[in-house]
Amino acid sequence: MLIAIIAVITIAILAMLGLIGLKVMKGQDSLRSGVKTVGAAQLPEPAFPLAVGSTRDAVYSLALISDATNRDQVTAAIFRRDFGSREAVRSGSIDADLDRVLEDPRAALCQEVNNLPCQARTAEQIDGWTWDPADLLWQKNGKRLMADIVYGEVDGVVLGASTTSMVGDGQQDRDAPVNEIMAFDPDSGRILWTKRYDHPVIFSLDGERIAGVTVRYGDDGDQPQQTNNHMFELVGADAADSEAVSAPLQTDSGSQPRDAIRAFDFGNATWKMQEGDDAIHTCHFVDGTCSPDDETGAISPEIPALEVNSHNGGIIYGDVDGDGYEDAVVALSRDFARYGGNAWQVEYYVWLWDSSRHEAKNVLTPLASSGRCGPRIREVRIVNGLVEYTWQDEADGDSCASGPSGAMNTARVRVRARDAAFVVVEGLPIE
The residue that leads in pLDDT, 202 or 421, is: 202
Q: Which of 246, 274, 290 is the last residue of a domain?
A: 246
The pLDDT assigned to 12 comes to 47
Q: Is the pLDDT of residue 10 over 50?
A: no
Q: Which of 185, 211, 246 is the last residue of a domain?
A: 246
Q: Is residue 19 part of a domain?
A: no
Q: Is residue 18 part of a domain?
A: no
Average pLDDT over residues 273-290: 77
Q: Is the pLDDT of residue 58 over 80?
A: yes
**Cβ 324 vs Cβ 258: under 8 Å:** yes
Instruction: State what percent of residues in the chain have pLDDT above 70.
Output: 75
Contacts of 396 (CB under 8 A, 6+ apart): none
Average pLDDT over residues 144-149: 79
The pLDDT assigned to 236 comes to 92
Q: Is the pLDDT of residue 96 over 80?
A: no
Average pLDDT over residues 185-190: 86
The pLDDT assigned to 125 comes to 84
Together in a domain, 304 and 235: no
Q: Is the pLDDT of residue 63 over 50?
A: yes
Mean pLDDT of the residues in the chain:
76
Between CA 81 and CA 65 the distance in angstroms is 17
Q: Is residue 391 part of a domain?
A: yes
The pLDDT assigned to 295 comes to 41
Together in a domain, 295 and 240: no
The pLDDT assigned to 422 comes to 81
Structure pTM? 0.63
Together in a domain, 287 and 184: no
Which of these ranges, 105-114, 186-195, 280-289, 419-428, has the smallest mean pLDDT?
A: 419-428
Q: Mind listing the pLDDT tens digit for each residue in 67-87? A: 655 555 678 889 998 887 888
Q: Which of 195, 211, 246 is the last residue of a domain?
A: 246
Q: Is residue 22 part of a domain?
A: no
Together in a domain, 112 and 211: yes
Total domains in the chain come to 2
Q: Is residue 354 part of a domain?
A: yes
The pLDDT assigned to 36 comes to 93
The pLDDT assigned to 409 comes to 92
The pLDDT assigned to 26 comes to 38
The pLDDT assigned to 255 comes to 60
Together in a domain, 240 and 343: no
The residue that leads in pLDDT, 409 or 121, is: 409
**Cβ 392 vs Cβ 376: under 8 Å:** yes
Together in a domain, 50 and 131: yes
Together in a domain, 286 and 187: no
User: What's phi and psi for 45, nearest 5 deg?
Assistant: -135, 160
Q: Is residue 332 part of a domain?
A: yes
Average pLDDT over residues 52-58: 87
Q: Is residue 27 part of a domain?
A: no
Together in a domain, 234 and 270: no
Q: Mind listing the pLDDT tens digit for each residue in 203-262? A: 988 767 899 999 876 554 444 444 678 889 999 999 889 998 776 544 434 467 888 898
Together in a domain, 72 and 204: yes
Together in a domain, 236 and 124: yes
Together in a domain, 110 and 81: yes
The pLDDT assigned to 301 comes to 46
The pLDDT assigned to 13 comes to 44
Average pLDDT over residues 318-341: 79
Q: Is residue 4 part of a domain?
A: no
The pLDDT assigned to 335 comes to 67
The pLDDT assigned to 100 comes to 79
Domain that holds residue 305: 260-427
Together in a domain, 129 and 52: yes
